Amino acid sequence: MRGQGIRFGQVAASLGGVLLIWWAVTAWGGVNPVLVPGPAVVWAAAVELWADGTMGSDLRVSLGRAAVGFGIGSVLGVLVGLLTARTRILGAAVTPVLTLLRPIPAIALVPLAIVWFGIGEGSKWFVISYTVFLAVWLNTHHGAAHVAGTYIRASRSLGAGRLREFFEVVVPAAAPHIVAGLRMGAALAFLSLVAAELTGASAGIGFRIQEARQFMQTEVMFVNLILLGVLGALLDALFVALANRLVHWEQL
């Protein structure tokens, strides 16, 4: 409890400090308020975006896209990762290809996604789920390919068949890596969300930042950038809390 209090105090002091510096710099008048709006202006913009429903619908649309992309990408990533790690032929065939795909950033896929899936939801889901898939596949593969040999030996000498070995030994032994991959995937879903919303969206946090550029509304940009940061941090904290219960023998 005491540790949590200290951590809370640390977070409050850190964020408070940044807010103070931000306020001081903008109040001093040395910077152009059109380029760098002050905290009060940004807060007012946030309240307005919330009041007219823009923020609510942007959140709903963006979180929906991130959730669908994360869902598709993580399910495929776990399945493919387990397969490539535990079947030698598949691993040998697929691993080099996926290693080649890894360095390609999500934003570079956007034009292709538009050609393939149009400017509807499909292209957004594709970009997000592809990014999530790679991270989850990589971690799952690593975890499932490096299960301690003594676990396998123990399992076999205790009379477990291959099916039980897979579900009761390999999968739980790889679980800490799988969960780490899912955590990374959740963060990447947010990062690629903005790239995905470059594919001609009409709502969403990433789209709103783009749109604000056309009207020079830096305060709207600030609101949505901060929103992305807060959402990502909250999601990660939620994920860690959940993961530490799920793979309780190995704390993240």
CB of residue 168 to other proteins, shortest distance in Å = 7
CB of residue 240 to other proteins, shortest distance in Å = 18
CB of residue 75 to other proteins, shortest distance in Å = 21
Contact 95, 154 (CB under 8 A): no
Contact 124, 201 (CB under 8 A): yes
CB of residue 169 to other proteins, shortest distance in Å = 7
For residue 193, which of 46, 98, 61 has the smallest C-alpha distance?
A: 61
Contact 199, 121 (CB under 8 A): no
Interface with other proteins, residue 245, by CB under 8 A: no
CB of 117 or CB of 151, closer to other proteins:
151
Side chain identity at 251, as an amino acid letter?
A: Q
Give CA–CA dist 78/74, Å, rounded.
6
CB of 24 or CB of 246, closer to other proteins:
246
Give CA–CA dist 139/135, Å, rounded.
6
Interface with other proteins, residue 242, by CB under 8 A: no
Tokens of 36: 């760098």
**What does DSSP assign to residue 205?**
H
Interface with other proteins, residue 88, by CB under 8 A: no
Side chain identity at 119, as an amino acid letter?
A: I
Contact 196, 92 (CB under 8 A): no
Interface with other proteins, residue 160, by CB under 8 A: yes
Binding mask 171-200 for other proteins (x = CB under 8 A): -xx-x-------------------------
**What does DSSP assign to residue 248?**
T
Interface with other proteins, residue 159, by CB under 8 A: yes
Interface with other proteins, residue 158, by CB under 8 A: yes
**How many residues interact with other proteins (rule CB under 8 A)?**
22
Binding mask 138-157 for other proteins (x = CB under 8 A): ----------x-xx-xxxxx
Side chain identity at 66, as an amino acid letter?
A: A
Q: Which residues bind other proteins (CB under 8 A)?
A: 148, 150-151, 153-161, 164, 168-169, 172-173, 175, 247-250
